[in-house]
Amino acid sequence: MATKTNTIESVKQISYLAGALKAPQISDAATRLADQARDAGWSFEDYLAAVLEREVSARNASGAQLRIRAAGFPGRKTLEDFDWDAQAGSRPQIAALASGGFLTEARNVVLLGPPGTGKTHLAISLGIVAAQHGHRVLFATATDWVTRLTDAHRQGRLPNELARLRRYGLIIVDEVGYLPFEQDAANLFFQLVSSRYEHASLILTSNLPFSGWGGVFGDQAVAAAMIDRIVHHADVLTLKGASYRLRGRGIDSLPSIRTQNQAD
């Protein structure tokens, strides 16, 4: 039977050893769970598993927070914040995506629809899910991606940059179609899509239907080849309805873009 002095010595030793392992949760959990384990008659194995489990889940959670911070999201938007009344039709598909299976299969997600229908919100939410599932994520607008790729290309390090980006399980390209690309930029963007094809996931958002992408990329052939690779393994969701931003303001459509940008 362990004496009280022995127990105190053991607790001190656990605290020292947990520090040496850089596993602070082990020290806390070992003491916290010991009484519970004694009262409930846990086996040694059950107790050790419970203690280690605390350390692992704390590490996963802080890893996810680091990945979320590093992703460059323009804001924190979660699936819990999403009002499904506005997009009921997409709910089952998004719920399936939230399991994270698309990332391990290197599948893509394309979110189409008029402005304000929640494309960026859902892209960020799925990005957060990816970070929580242990994937590295990077978010940027299509224009920012093109700037980044153009810089890499000019400095002769495009292949390195594409290889580096392949280590990210998810890349989010927001707002394809807000600005048309120059021919060179369209080719660089095509290389990004090709380099990830069947390797790692992309999420793209656009206010244009695919039929409008030729205009964005300045070339129907480049656009067609790119769309082919994107949608080969993809979930394509078309969000509908009026802008969530304009809710309750007595404005239910944006006349200049409504007809032209209805995604099909």
Cβ neighbourhood burial of 135 (10 Å; 0-12, 13-18, 19+): buried
Cβ neighbourhood burial of 42 (10 Å; 0-12, 13-18, 19+): middle
DSSP 110: E
Minimum gap (Å) between residue 135 Cβ and Mg ion: 22
Binding segment for ligand ADP (CB under 6 A), chosen from 7-15, 57-65, 80-88, 196-204, is 80-88
Tell whether residue 207 is a contact of Mg ion (CB under 5 A).
Answer: no
Minimum gap (Å) between residue 198 Cβ and ligand ADP: 27
Tell me which of 25, 27, 108, 120 binds Mg ion, using CB under 5 A: 120
Tell me which of 83, 151, 182, 252 binds ligand ADP, using CB under 6 A: 83
Tell whether residue 177 is a contact of ligand ADP (CB under 6 A).
Answer: no
Q: Count residues near ligand ADP (CB under 6 A).
A: 17
**CA-based diameter of the chain, in Å?**
81
What is the residue type of 147?
T
Minimum gap (Å) between residue 248 Cβ and ligand ADP: 12
**Residue 208 tokens, joined:** 């244009």
Tell me which of 29, 102, 109, 116 binds ligand ADP, using CB under 6 A: 116
Q: 47 vs 210, which CB is nearer to ligand ADP?
A: 210
Window 224-253: residues binding ligand ADP (CB under 6 A): 244-245
**CB contact set of 182 (below 8 Å; sequence gap of 6+):** 218
Nearest to 138 by CA among 212, 68, 43, 199: 68
Q: How far is CA 46 from the centre of its chain?
A: 34
Q: Angle 158-166/183-196 helices, nearest 10 degrees?
A: 40
Tell whether residue 125 is a contact of Mg ion (CB under 5 A).
Answer: no
Tell whether residue 117 is a contact of ligand ADP (CB under 6 A).
Answer: yes
Rounded Cα distance, 152 and 47, in Å: 52
Q: Which residues sit at the interface with ligand ADP, rule CB under 6 A?
A: 77, 81-83, 86-87, 113, 115-121, 205, 244-245
